[in-house]
Amino acid sequence: MPFLNDNSIRERNAIVLIGGGGHCGVVIDIIREENLYDEILISDLPENLGKYVLDVRIDYTDDQLEELFSVGVKHAFITVGKIGLDDRRKQLYEKLKAIGFEIPTIISNSAHVSRYASIGEGTLVGKGATLNAGAIVWRNCIINTGAIIEHNSIIYDDVHIATGTILCGAVTVGENSFIGAGSVLIQGVNIQKDTLVGAGTVVVKDIKQSGVYVGNPARRIRWQRMKSKCLGS
C-alpha cells in the first residue's frame, strides 16, 4: 500500500473512486477516455486490497479517506453501483461531502447531452446515453449506457437509470429510485421516490406508491417475487 504522506500525491491531479466492482471499471474507462485525472486511486473493503479493477489496484479502504484528503487528494467519486433500493450511495455521498471532497460530474464523450440539460455533481452519464433539452438530473445519479432521458424530464437525487431505459418527455423520477434495464416510461408520468421498476417494464401512468413494479403495463408486486426476476443494470 502506498504511503499516504508521499508528497507526490499532493502534486498530482488525483481522484479516489469509492467501490471497486464492475461499475468502477466503467468509470475508469470514461476517465481514461476523457483524460480527466493524472492518477486514479480506489478505495474498497479490506478484503479487496491488492486486487485490480482494469489496470488500477485497490490500495485503500474507506477508513483512509480523510487521510487521503489531508495529503491533497481533493476529488472523489462513488463507483458503488445501485441495484434495488439500498441507500449506500447516498450514505457515501454524505460522507464524502462531510470530509470536504469535490465530487465531479463524469460524462462519457460518446454521450449526447444537450447544452440545455442540467446535471448535478456526482452523476455519471454513461456511453451512448442521451439527455435532451430541458432534462434535469440531480446529484449522485447513474445514467447508464444507452439510456435516453427526453426533454423536460426530471431525475432526483440517488437514482439509477439502467442500461437502455427510455424516459419519454416530461417524466419525473423521485429520489432513491431504480429504473431497470430496457424499461419505458411514457411521456408525463411521475414516479414516487423509493420505487424499483424491474427490467423491461412499461410504465403508462403515475406511480404514486413506493414499491416494486414489473410488467407491461407496470403493476406493483411483493419484493419476495422480485427475487426471481432480472432487475437489470
pLDDT at site 222? 74
Given a cut of 60, whether residue 9 has pLDDT beyond it is no
Q: What is the DSSP string of 93-159?
A: HHHHHHHT-B---EE-TTSEE-TT-EE-TT-EE-TT-EE-TT-EE-SS-EE-TT-EE-TT-EE-TT-
Which of 99, 130, 156 is the C-terminal boundary of a domain? 99
pLDDT band at 120, cuts 50/70/90?
very high
Between 77 and 227, residue with greater pLDDT: 77
pLDDT band at 229, cuts 50/70/90?
very low
Per-residue pLDDT tens over the stretch 19-73: 999 999 999 999 999 899 999 999 999 999 999 999 999 999 999 999 999 999 9
231 domain-assigned: no
Q: Which residues are 166's β-sheet partners?
A: 148, 184
Between 11 and 192, residue with greater pLDDT: 192
pLDDT at site 82? 84
**pTM for this prediction:** 0.90
> Whose grid coordinates read 442540467?
118
The residues annotated as belonging to the active site are 151
**In terms of residue numbers, what domain contains 68?**
7-99
Are both 64 and 110 inside the same structural domain?
Answer: no
How far from 170 is each of 113, 144, 186, CA to CA, in Å? 16, 19, 9
Q: Give the count of domains, the chain.
A: 2
Per-residue pLDDT tens over the stretch 139-191: 999 999 999 999 999 999 999 999 999 999 999 999 999 999 999 999 999 99
Q: What CATH number does residue 35 fall under?
A: 3.40.50.20
Q: Which set of grid coordinates corresponds to residue 173?
A: 423520477
Average pLDDT of every residue of the chain: 92
Which residues, in sequence order, are CB contacts of 190 under 8 Å at separation 6+?
Answer: 171, 172, 174, 206, 207, 208
Q: What CA–CA distance (Å, rounded) separates 25 from 19?
A: 10
Q: Which set of grid coordinates corresponds to residue 142?
A: 447513474
114 domain-assigned: yes
Please state the rounded mean pLDDT for residues 187-198: 97
Q: What CA–CA distance (Å, rounded) separates 102 from 53?
A: 23
